[in-house]
Copies of this chain bind each other. A is one copy, B any other.
């Protein structure tokens, strides 16, 4: 299939280009390198060194024996999106071209506005481009499990049927997101659902859990093919950050009590799931929602896992609790469904320990890069609007 990856230079995008190409798909990508800029803006860098795009594309060609079609430009510019769709005529578009950070969106008014307008505009441009240029194209859009929040009921996949005052209807499951970023994903989900309804487009909206991992097999040994791995407060997600802390002997920093639960999956699983979505498109006019994760853990459970595996490697690391910079429930019910991907053949990686062990060994090589910026491991962007490093609770 011909597949376009919007945001191909990012953590997931760069991995996915390789995963799909290795499976025989013809892949194209677009990027304007915002992710590199955002991390620089926060005075940080990827723990895993990443090559400039020219080197990445060269390595890609050498390794996979085929060219990655690449367009450099801003997906907020409709003319740019039009050009790509006309030239490449993709059968599927995986939309990773959004700003994916909750803390980044909470910095101040300009960051909140940027994240929401960027994410809304890129999605609009893809929707209108599909409508007008390639209406059969399947849009696979990255949302987040964070759209749902932590309600006191089960969480279905996007929709549920309920009775209210004696009458039945099928509704979108109410979203209760936890940051301006997470709400931008809700806004996007709502817009895509409506576009499918009025224009007969087809889309898969992926409510993804937190992804962790340093590599996928397809990258082989070529350093230029490695994907980024961030450890700063805004773009470093929780397991990745814990592993970076472990390799430099820094305490693993749990926000608050750590009883908050989330869905998680490995980078490899994320690639597998996205591929299943792409290779099994919905019908024309269908808007479907996949909850995409392998396991649910509490944050403290994860910290203890990383600590134990580090101990097996001979490293002694503490688990510490920090003031929680976020506004989130600590104790809560959490039971999200995730049946659709299993039905398509997804076999989740339940051996999280094995994956963490690989990560720790990968990151060991880059410990100097992490140690050189260890201050960034303690968050300062708080949901209440202040900017001040949080304190250790114990």
Contacts and interface: CB of A to CB of B under 8 A. Distances in A.
Contacts of A186: 187, 190
Contacts of A383: 198
A69 interface: no
Contacts of A165: 153-154
Contact of A117 (B110, B121, B160, B333): B121
B174 A183 contact: no
Copies in the complex: 2
A384 B132 CA distance: 11
A177 B172 CA distance: 12
A112 B124 CA distance: 8
Interface string A274-303: 000000000000000000000000000000
A134 to B, nearest CB: 14
Contacts of A178: 194
A199 interface: yes
A124 B153 contact: no
Interface string A75-99: 0001000000000000000000000
Nearest to A152: B169
A151 B174 contact: no
Interface string A163-198: 111011101111111101001001100110010011
Contacts of A333: 167
Nearest to A155: B164
Nearest to A188: B187
A162 B112 CA distance: 32
Contacts of A112: 124, 128
B169 A151 contact: yes
A194 B183 contact: yes
A173 B174 contact: yes
Contacts of A187: 116, 120, 183, 186-187, 190
A109 interface: yes
Contacts of A53: none
Nearest to A160: B164
B164 A385 contact: no
Given A110-B78, A112-B124, A117-B121, A190 B183 contact: yes
A385 B176 CA distance: 31
A80 B194 CA distance: 34
Contacts of A113: 78, 120-121, 124-125
A27 to B, nearest CB: 25
A228 B363 CA distance: 65
Contacts of A120: 113, 116-117, 120, 187
B128 A152 contact: no
A131 interface: yes
A327 interface: yes
B169 A172 contact: no
Nearest to A108: B128
Nearest to A193: B176
Contacts of A108: 128
Given A152-B168, A174-B174, A198-B383, 5 more contacts: A151-B171, A160-B164, A180-B194, A183-B191, A186-B190
Interface of A: 78, 108-110, 112-113, 116-117, 120-121, 124-125, 128, 131-132, 151-154, 160, 162-165, 167-169, 171-178, 180, 183, 186-187, 190-191, 194, 197-199, 327, 333, 383-385
